[in-house]
């Protein structure tokens, strides 16, 4: 299951990245070699970019890319560190679950709203916020499990 | 109510929450206590990230990583060593020179410390340089990177203020060069005093070959810079051109890129960018809360109430930014503080471009200010030296940084000369 989730998130990140690189390259090409640049390229680039960031957000948590302060934590003893870790993971899960649940409401609000140049419902773009929350919640749960298991080590 | 926001944020930071999540949690607590509909969370998060110019950040990070995978760090170091290795303390000078050249490729100080430090710190130690000195040179010189263009902090400053990215890039060039030069003088002085080694002078052929080896990567910086300044590309387009260019050079010239490692590099770059964008998204909400609480006005009134003297105001801002920069990540500090402090600076008639350079320079200095400077931590762990030893060795470099900061603060032309020359 864990591997499948990772594969989906990696594939989503790669496809969205190639999407925003491709859209921007089309924009540059059209500006130099065609009469006028199509109006949809900038919006498509932003759309792919937000999705790339959303898919990669969970992977970034898994691989420890987020920056944090270590000043107080470094001075704690092992049991206290474990307690802090568990609290951090639980609170992270809560934060992104709230974000995810309200992102669904946000998606619903976006159904009647049309994107200016691509013309699709904005809900499609807003789903990225659900993806971001979900990807972070999943890896925060894995981190929590790993912290809890440390007890038995 | 604003105190709750700040207190929760600080508690989360101390409890080792990622800075991005600390911002998010403090906002969540504030929104809950204020009874604001929670849908504001995804709405502000989305609108914070859905900005075209922010696309240039993953673009520049990806192009830098693609170039670096082609062995660029080693090539730049070898070239600098050919140029300066014959001078006493040549390896230390090459370290600083490499940071200045690498600046155009990477754009973040911590990654410069890590990539250059991994090669230079062991090499310097092996040649008899002091371990603390080797780490201090690496950490201090890496702060030059994000001031010399292309610079991720400058892009963030432009996004927050609506200033031209091209102007900001140019504005950082002279102060960055001055900072690098100042550090070279200090490194040379210490090397002479401690009788650190020098290499035999390289032949012209060696220098020329070293230049050819780094030529393609240096050309990328020029394409980016002159593409933006000349109005040929927008910053976002320039970053994507840089990705395309790095792919071509890495595959066909350096011959180190293939399908497998390209995928790996893309993923790595997107994870770095995503960690920044989650921060940007939450900072958008955090900034909105500060605005609704009229905090920028309150801070502005307090500072201006204390003094209306331009230089006194800038001195206060410098002290605040260096203090914040010692423990807070550069981008996070910029996102939270730059819009507030820009208003204060503009109230005493400081040019916004000039102020952006001052702000970025301050936060960079914070990265090497003991006892918490992040770059010092990174270099001390690479060099396996205690933090106190690196901190002590970094003091002369810190003194130069403060001197350059004072110059940049007092002489606006240092920041404004190039933008006026090329873009007015």
What's the CA gap between B304 and B14, in Å, rounded? Answer: 31
Q: Are A68 and B16 within 8 A, CB to CB?
A: yes
pLDDT value of position B107: 54
Please report, in tens digits, the pLDDT of each residue of chain A (153 residues total): 889 999 999 999 999 999 999 999 999 999 888 877 788 999 999 999 999 999 999 999 999 888 777 777 878 888 888 999 999 999 999 999 999 999 999 999 999 999 888 889 999 999 999 999 999 999 999 999 998 887 554
What's the CA gap between A121 and A1, in Å, rounded? Answer: 31
Q: How far is A102 from chain B (nearest CA, A)?
A: 5
ipTM score? 0.94
**Closest to A56 in 3D by CA, of A132, A146, A108:** A132
Lookup result for tokens 């990477």: B106
Partner-chain residue, chosen from B49, B59, B263, that has the shortest CB–CB distance to A50: B49
What's the CA gap between A37 and B242, in Å, rounded? Answer: 20
Put simply, the chain A residues between 85 and 104 with a CB less than 8 A from any chain B CB are: 87-88, 91-92, 95, 98-99, 102-103
What's the CA gap between B384 and B372, in Å, rounded? Answer: 17
- Check: CB of residue B64 under 8 Å from CB of residue B171: no
> Over the stretch B173-204, which tens digit does the pLDDT of each residue have?
999 999 999 999 999 999 999 999 888 888 98
- Check: CB of residue B53 under 8 Å from CB of residue B235: yes
Q: Angle at which helices B109-126 and B374-383 pack, to 10 degrees?
A: 30
Helix residue ranges, H only, B50-164: 56-69, 72-84, 90-103, 109-126, 131-142, 152-161
Minimum CA–CA partner of B277 in chain A: A53
Q: Are B275 and A59 within 8 A, CB to CB?
A: no
pLDDT value of position B61: 86
Q: Are B273 and A56 within 8 A, CB to CB?
A: yes
Q: Are B55 and A10 within 8 A, CB to CB?
A: no
3-state helix, strand, coil split of chain B in percent (to 5) is 80, 0, 20
What's the CA gap between B310 and B325, in Å, rounded? Answer: 22
Lookup result for tokens 């754009």: B107
pLDDT value of position A126: 96
Which residues from chain B sit within 8 angstroms of residue A50, using beta carbons? Answer: 46, 49-50
Partner-chain residue, chosen from A28, A87, A92, that has the shortest CB–CB distance to B233: A28
> Over the stretch B235-277, which tens digit does the pLDDT of each residue have?
889 889 989 988 998 888 888 888 889 999 999 999 989 998 9
Q: Is B164 helix (H, G, I), strand (E, B) or coil?
A: coil
Q: Are B237 and A49 within 8 A, CB to CB?
A: no
What's the CA gap between B282 and B18, in Å, rounded? Answer: 12
Q: How far is A59 from chain B (nearest CA, A)?
A: 6
Predicted TM-score of the model (pTM): 0.83
pLDDT value of position B233: 85
pLDDT along chain B (424 residues), means of 10: 89 88 94 95 94 87 83 79 88 88 65 78 88 93 86 87 90 94 95 90 89 82 81 87 89 86 93 90 89 82 88 92 79 85 91 95 87 78 85 94 95 94 83
Partner-chain residue, chosen from A25, A63, A125, that has the shortest CB–CB distance to B271: A63
- Check: CB of residue A30 under 8 Å from CB of residue A36: yes
Put simply, the chain A residues between 53 and 82 with a CB less than 8 A from any chain B CB are: 53-57, 59-61, 63, 65-73
Instruction: Give yes or no for a cis peptide into B191 (omega within 30° of 0).
Output: no
- Check: CB of residue B331 under 8 Å from CB of residue B156: yes
Q: Are B274 and A59 within 8 A, CB to CB?
A: yes
Per-residue burial over B193-214, b = 16 or more CB atoms within 10 Å of its CB, e = otherwise? eeebebeeebeeebeeebeebb
Partner-chain residue, chosen from B46, B243, B327, that has the shortest CB–CB distance to A21: B243
Q: Are A45 and B236 within 8 A, CB to CB?
A: yes
- Check: CB of residue A121 under 8 Å from CB of residue A127: no
Minimum CA–CA partner of A92 in chain B: B21
- How many CA atoms lie within 13 Å of B306's alpha carbon, on the beta-carbon side? 14
What's the CA gap between A113 and A49, in Å, rounded? Answer: 20
- How many residues appear in chain B? 424
Partner-chain residue, chosen from B16, B41, B271, that has the shortest CB–CB distance to A60: B271
Torsion of CA B244, B61, A57, B326, to 10 degrees: -170
pLDDT value of position A53: 97
pLDDT value of position B104: 55
Q: Are A57 and B54 within 8 A, CB to CB?
A: no
pLDDT value of position B108: 66
| Radius of gyration, CA atoms only, chain B | 21
């Amino acid at each position: 299951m864990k591997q499948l989730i990772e594969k989906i998130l990696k594939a989503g990140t790669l496809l969205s990245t190639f999407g925003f690189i491709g859209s921007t390259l089309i924009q540059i090409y059209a500006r130099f070699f065609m009469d006028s640049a199509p109006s949809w390229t900038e919006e498509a680039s932003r759309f792919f970019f937000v999705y790339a960031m959303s898919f990669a957000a969970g992977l970034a948590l898994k691989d420890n890319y987020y920056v944090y302060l270590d000043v107080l934590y470094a001075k704690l003893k092992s049991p206290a560190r474990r307690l802090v870790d568990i609290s951090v993971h639980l609170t992270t899960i809560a934060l992104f679950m709230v974000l995810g649940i309200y992102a669904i409401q946000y998606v619903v609000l976006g159904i009647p709203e049309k994107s200016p140049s691509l013309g699709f419902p904005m809900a499609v773009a807003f789903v990225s916020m659900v993806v971001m929350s979900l990807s972070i919640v999943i890896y925060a749960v894995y981190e929590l499990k790993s912290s809890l298991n440390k007890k038995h080590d | 109510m604003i105190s709750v926001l700040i207190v929760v944020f600080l508690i989360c930071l101390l409890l080792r929450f990622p800075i991005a999540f600390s911002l998010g949690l403090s906002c969540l607590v504030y929104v809950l206590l204020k009874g604001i509909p929670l849908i504001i969370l995804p709405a502000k998060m989305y609108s914070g990230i859905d900005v075209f110019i922010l696309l240039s950040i993953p673009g520049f990070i990806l192009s830098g990583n693609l170039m670096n995978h082609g062995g660029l760090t080693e090539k730049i170091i070898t070239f600098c060593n050919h140029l300066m290795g014959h001078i006493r303390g040549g390896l230390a000078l090459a370290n600083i020179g490499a940071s200045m050249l690498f600046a155009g490729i990477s754009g973040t100080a911590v990654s410069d410390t890590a990539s250059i430090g991994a090669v230079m710190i062991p090499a310097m130690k092996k040649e008899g340089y002091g371990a603390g000195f080797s780490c201090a040179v690496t950490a201090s010189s890496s702060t030059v990177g994000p001031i010399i263009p292309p610079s991720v902090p400058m892009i963030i400053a432009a996004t927050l203020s609506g200033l031209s990215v091209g102007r900001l890039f140019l504005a950082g060039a002279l102060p960055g060069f001055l900072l690098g030069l100042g550090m070279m003088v200090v490194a040379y002085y210490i090397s002479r005093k401690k009788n650190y080694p020098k290499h035999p002078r390289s032949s012209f052929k060696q220098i020329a070959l070293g230049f050819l080896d780094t030529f393609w990567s240096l050309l990328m910086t020029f394409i980016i810079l002159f593409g933006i300044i000349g109005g040929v590309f927008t910053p976002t387009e320039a970053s994507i051109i840089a990705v395309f260019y790095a792919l071509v050079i890495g595959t066909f010239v350096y011959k180190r890129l293939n399908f497998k490692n390209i995928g790996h590099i893309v993923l790595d770059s997107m994870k770095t960018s995503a960690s920044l964008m989650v921060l940007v998204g939450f900072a958008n909400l955090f900034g909105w809360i500060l605005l609704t609480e009229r905090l920028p006005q309150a801070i502005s009134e307090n500072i201006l109430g204390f003094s209306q003297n331009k230089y006194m105001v800038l001195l206060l801002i410098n002290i605040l930014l260096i203090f914040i920069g010692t423990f807070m990540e550069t981008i996070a500090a910029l996102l939270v503080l730059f819009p507030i402090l820009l208003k204060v600076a503009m109230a005493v008639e400081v040019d916004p471009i000039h102020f952006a350079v001052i702000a970025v320079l301050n936060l960079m200095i914070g990265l090497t200010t003991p006892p918490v400077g992040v770059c010092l931590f990174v270099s001390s762990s690479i060099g396996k030296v205690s933090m106190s030893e690196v901190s002590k060795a970094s003091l002369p470099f810190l003194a130069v940084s403060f001197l350059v900061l004072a110059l940049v603060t007092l002489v606006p032309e240092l920041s404004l000369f190039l933008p006026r020359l090329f873009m007015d």
